[in-house]
Amino acid sequence: MSAQSEKPKNVFDMLSKPIRRLLKEKGFSEPTEPQREAIPKILEGKNVLLISPTATGKTEAAMLPVLNMLIQSRATSKGISVLYITPLRALNRDMLERFQWWCNKLDLKLAVRHGDTESKERARQARSPPDILITTPETLQAILPGWIMRRHLQGIRYVIVDEVHELAESKRGSQLSLALERLRWIVGHEFQLIGLSATIGSPEKVARFLVGKDRDVEIIKVSAVRHMKLKIVYPKPEPIDFKLASTLYTHPEVAARLRTIRELMEKFNSVLLFTNTRSISEVLTSRLKVWDINFPVSIHHGSLAKSSRIAAERGLKNGELKGLVCTSSLELGIDVGRVDLVIQYMSPRQVTRLVQRVGRSGHRVGYTANGVIITMDPDDTLEAMVIARKALNEELEPAMIPRKPLDVLAHQLVGLLLRRKRWTFQEVLDLFTKAYPYSDLTLEELEKTLDYMDSRFPRLAWISRQDKVILKPLRTKAVYEYYFDNLSMIPEEKNYLVVDEEDGSAIGILDEAFVAEYGRPGIKFIIRGSPWKIHSIRGDQIYVRAVDDPTGAIPSWVGEEIPVPFEVAQEVGELRSLVEESVIEGLTLEETAKKIAELYPVEFETAVRAISEVYDHAKLGYVVPTDRRVVLEDWEDFVIVHAHFGSLTNRALAQLIGHILSEERGYAITVQHDPYRIFVQTMGDVNAERLARLFEELKKMNEFEVREIVREAVSRTGIFKRRIVHVARRFGALEKWADISKLSLKSLIKSFEGTAIFEEALKEVFTKDIDLEHLMLVAKMLREDEIEVIVLETGGKPSPIARLGIEKMHMKTDIIPPERLRMVVLEAAKARLLNETRTLICTECWNYVEMLRIKDLPENPRCPICNSSLLGLLTLSEEELYPILEKKGKGLRKSEKRIVEEAKRTASLLSTYGKAAAIALSGRRLSLEDVKEILDKGRYPEDSFYELIIEAEKKALKERFW
């Protein structure tokens, strides 16, 4: 009889009496599908990868059998028995709250440890280790070298890795895979591994990543799309939207999308609205609040203060909020209660993201996951249609697990030397090749990494090539500093201040990714609703001039954008080909739309609007760009290359085109790209015919030649500079605080060419920034005439499909006329300040603490316990302030004394100025002196009061970069 048929009707019956009793107390009678499948396997001691949507009980599916086995072996267990690893501290907090009840009832010790854990708590864990330790990958790195915690880990029996999909595709995951091999070596035995994952492509690869090269693992997959409904909405402006657009100082198309969002949020109880960038989430939230400051919606992303994130999560969970506007920060399983609907604003750009995001809704037994994609233009709509079709058919992108990153390898080699002074090359290879990302690590790659570690000053390792051994350097201080300074593989991104050259005022901030690709004089970009041109870059400040013509201007948030995969862009090309065929067959627009609506999860009206430009293009007799046809057309000073190859392949192709033309012309050719086209800015002396000849040249190149041209092109770009700086920092070759704006690319290449740093930086560019492999495929298809290249003659007028790209390039929906800009900024600032979340604490009785929104404060707030007006205003959460309340001002540590001091100083302002002080204190980066000056000058609640805050924020922003 099979193991499946031996399973009891209710797998909870396989658990011991104490666990069953607690399940009954919690009201859990029926296991969910993930629990039915996983609990027996885990109880058998098998390594398991459980793939299931959020809120389907997969955490309990892992923890219930582990708790069961823990209490049964309590007598023989010493030290830490369970490591629960999550990628986010916020998830640590969730897990602690979730399992504290179970552990208290079962008399098990549970603790959390991460970078912010107080020294007192760390000391307690060292003296009396918990049974279960919840931690992050970085903190695991920190405790492995310490002899006390290492001793406590000797009894480790279970390791649970939560949100394993989030780690697998990053260098954090590569680091964790080697850390787990180090842990096995330290404790001298195997442990059971349980991975919990949202829906992913290539589960086998992720399972291998979890357990390593030669260990057995069971994959349990619960479908995310079995009960999933997806709807695509491309809002059309109605008469009401023109009036709303006037109120919100925006365009009717934007107003139509905002109205659709609001209608959906009012229809459902609990909504998550996902955006693809932080910038867009902030603009959306701001406009919804300007429309109605009391509309119960808030924002959630990783850059917000912890108190704001906690308030947003609680607000949705307890019903105070109807919706949360969020980024990928809420793709992971942070507890926000039941979600009825997920709205995806604009195409999700990747299938896996859509499935994971929509998977956050409706997942109680018998419920359906509901998702609505709101699109903004025909490109966006066609892309969303393709992604929705792929999602419902579970055609997910394969997991892209980094292969043997050398910067991570260097860090982990130092970790080995901190534990033992001498290692042979073979011992290292034997240990580290057990980890899946390093399963094919060669002796040559190990030696290249060691060469750099040995040759730098101070040394990270001493090597003898003759004896094939690695020794710990005598100067150990530098080794320890390097190891503990580089626990995190997340790169520290630099920000750049944008300054108006005209008057020296601060306009905003650009991130490192944008500046790396586009940061050079002459480039136009859009920030805060206006087009600007870069005049000069001085250190970390970018001086700009306002321009009237936004043609060619790049949105400032493109560095944040999620890349569209090659396969998705190709299918959009297939769709356009289908429309072209329908026109040739003589079908009407409506007949074509009906045909497409039968093939894709889209309503007829949306399909009509999505294909209308392609249909008009074909009706004019123009050849249509498709998955098998590249179309070139001249327009003003640009050649538009229509190519359905996706974001990273088009970027690679753009780099290749730009490099060849720049070498030929003797000046830099500017190229921009999106997933479906490349804009080549030619200054009038390169046309579509020249580009057609360039494609003919490309057909004649072999694979090696294409690779070398791209390598040469990329190594001269800001993109490469950014990556080589990140890698050099991880190797300890550059200080974390080194100002990269003062480092020339030429000097970096000269310093690192031929080293593991240079090689790893190129590898990172070729996997994260450009898709070299698919470019090679495109070149092969060109050579074999599977892709044709055609020059389209339009008489200088843009074709209908080109017009789509030009409008995107103009980004007209985000440009605000200067005369309206002042009111937009003012209203957005009011909405932002009044919706900030802060924590009140009474500095008189020290018995009152409460987190609330500024708009909910009375004009003259008082303590509800002692009636004092001395209420401090802090950004910390209630949980962080409880220890201070308990101490009543006695026996405070230094950090707590600083908090008390800040509370008293803000309390003085609140007592004197009331709510006005709370509003000013919520300004960004403002000192108490700034706030006092605003309160003395301003006349609350007049507009002039808020304008003083805006000006002070600009000044504070500029001072931050001095």
Distances (CA, A) of 316 to 36, 334, 625: 29, 12, 45
Return the minimum-mean-pLDDT range out of 586-590, 738-742, 791-795.
Answer: 738-742
Residues 17 and 95 in one domain: yes
Query: Are 430 and 512 in a shared domain?
Result: no
- The predicted pLDDT at position 502 comes to 80
Q: Chain-wide mean pLDDT for the chain?
A: 88
- Single-letter amino acid code for the residue at 91: L
CA atoms within 13 Å, Cβ hemisphere of 129:
20
Query: Would the pLDDT of 513 be above 90?
Result: no
Beta-carbon contacts of 868 under 8 Å, excluding residues fewer than 6 positions away, are 842, 843, 844, 845, 862
Give pLDDT tens digits for 428-486: 999 999 999 999 999 999 999 999 999 988 899 999 989 999 999 988 888 999 999 99
C-alpha 455/C-alpha 451 separation (Å) is 6
Per-residue pLDDT, 891: 76
Give yes or no: residues 255 and 380 share one domain. Answer: yes
* Contact between 453 and 413 (Cβ < 8 Å): yes
**Beta-sheet pairing, 541-546 with 554-555:** unpaired
List pLDDT tens digits, range 391-424: 999 999 999 999 999 999 999 999 999 999 999 9
Asked if residue 842 belongs to a domain, the reply is: yes
Segment 708-719, tens digit of pLDDT:
999 999 988 888
Sheet of strand 541-546: strand arrangement: 506-511, 495-500, 541-546, 530-538, 524-527, 554-555
Task: Assess whether pLDDT exceeds 80 at residue 822.
Answer: no
Number of domains in the chain: 6
Confidence band of 353 (pLDDT split at 50, 70, 90) = very high
pLDDT band at 497 (very low <50, low <70, confident <90, very high): confident
Which residue, of 778, 810, 842, is where some domain finishes?
A: 810
Are 658 and 739 part of one and the same domain? yes
Identify whether residues 388 and 529 lie together within a single domain: no
Percentage of the chain with pLDDT > 90? 57
On whether residue 769 sits in a domain, the answer given is yes
Q: Is the pLDDT of residue 5 over 60?
A: no
In a 13 Å sphere around the CA of 480, the CA atoms on its Cβ side amount to 8
Both 532 and 579 in one domain: the answer is: no
**Using one digit for the tens of pLDDT, what is the confidence trace for 179-210?**
999 999 999 999 999 999 988 889 999 999 99
**What is the domain range of residue 929?**
820-960
Cβ atoms of 643 and 268 within 8 Å: the answer is: no
Considering 143-147, 477-481, 777-781, the range whose residues carry the highest mean pLDDT is 777-781
- Average pLDDT, stretch 36-51? 95
In this structure, what token pair is assigned to residue 669? 């050719």
Residue 815 in domain: no
Residue whose entry in the numeric block shows the structure tokens 């399940």: 23
Based on the domain organization, do 464 and 501 belong to the same domain?
no
Helix (H, G, I), strand (E, B) or coil at 914: coil
Integer Rg of the chain from CA? 29
Question: What burial letters (b/e) apply to 710-732, b meaning 16+ CB within 10 Å?
Answer: beebbbbbbbbbbbbbbbbbbbb
Domain for residue 266, yes or no? Answer: yes
Which residue, among 386, 808, 798, 809, has the nearest Cα to 631 in the 3D structure?
798
Q: Is the pLDDT of residue 364 over 60?
A: no
* Residues 6 or more apart in contact with residue 883 via CB below 8 angstroms: 896
Report yes or no on 233 lying in a domain: yes
Please state, in angstroms and rounded to a whole number, the distance separating the CA atoms of residues 103 and 179.
27
DSSP single-letter state for residue 669: P
If one counts every other C-beta atom within 10 angstroms of the C-beta of residue 737, the result is 7
Output the pLDDT for position 682: 79
Q: Are residues 231 and 280 in the same domain?
A: yes
Query: What is the structure's pLDDT at 547?
Result: 79
Query: What is the pLDDT at residue 820?
Result: 64
CA pair distance 887, 699, nearest whole angstrom: 75
Distance CA(268)–CA(339), nearest Å, equals 9
Domain boundary among 810, 834, 863: 810
Residues 909 and 931: beta-carbon distance below 8 Å: yes
Whole-angstrom distance, CA of residue 608 vs CA of residue 486: 53
In a domain, 906, yes or no: yes
Encoded amino acid at 70, one letter: L
Query: In this predicted model, what pLDDT tens digit does every residue of 96-116 receive, in sequence order?
Result: 888 889 999 999 998 888 777
* Between 903 and 327, residue with greater pLDDT: 903
Inform me whether the pLDDT recorded for 1 exceeds 50: no
Asked whether residue 59 falls in the same domain as residue 192, the answer is yes
Q: Are 391 and 229 in contact (CB under 8 A)?
A: no
Q: Report the pLDDT averaged over residues 61-84.
A: 88
- Of the candidates 24, 35, 30, the one whose C-alpha atom is nearest the C-alpha of residue 61 is 35
Give the confidence band of 278 by pLDDT, cuts at 50, 70, 90.
Answer: confident
Q: State residue 693's pLDDT score.
A: 94
Q: How far is CA 580 from CA 583, 585, 643, in A?
A: 5, 9, 16
79 plus 192 within the same structural domain: yes
**Do 185 and 37 share a structural domain?**
yes
Q: Answer for the pair 867, 900: CB distance below 8 angstroms, yes or no.
A: no
pLDDT of residue 408: 97
Query: Tens digits of per-residue pLDDT, 898-908?
Result: 999 999 999 99
Q: What is the mean pLDDT of residues 146-157?
A: 88
pLDDT value at position 555? Answer: 65
Any domain includes 893 = yes
What's the start-to-end Cα distance of the chain, in Å?
74
DSSP 854: G
Contacts of 173 (CB under 8 A, 6+ apart): 137, 167, 209, 401, 402, 437
Work out the average pLDDT over 591-615.
Answer: 95
475 and 508 part of one domain: no
Residue at 490 is within a domain: no
Among 558, 574, 594, the domain boundary falls at 558
Confidence of residue 666 (pLDDT cuts 50, 70, 90): confident
Per-residue pLDDT at 812: 42
| pLDDT beyond 90 at 496 | no
DSSP string, 523-555: -EEEETTEEEEEEEEETTEEEEEE-S--TTPEE
- Say which range, 227-241, 351-365, 511-525, has the weakest mean pLDDT: 511-525
Residue 365 pLDDT greater than 70, yes or no = no
Report yes or no: 199 and 164 within 8 Å, Cβ to Cβ.
no
Listed residue (676, 628, 635) closest to 654, CA to CA: 676
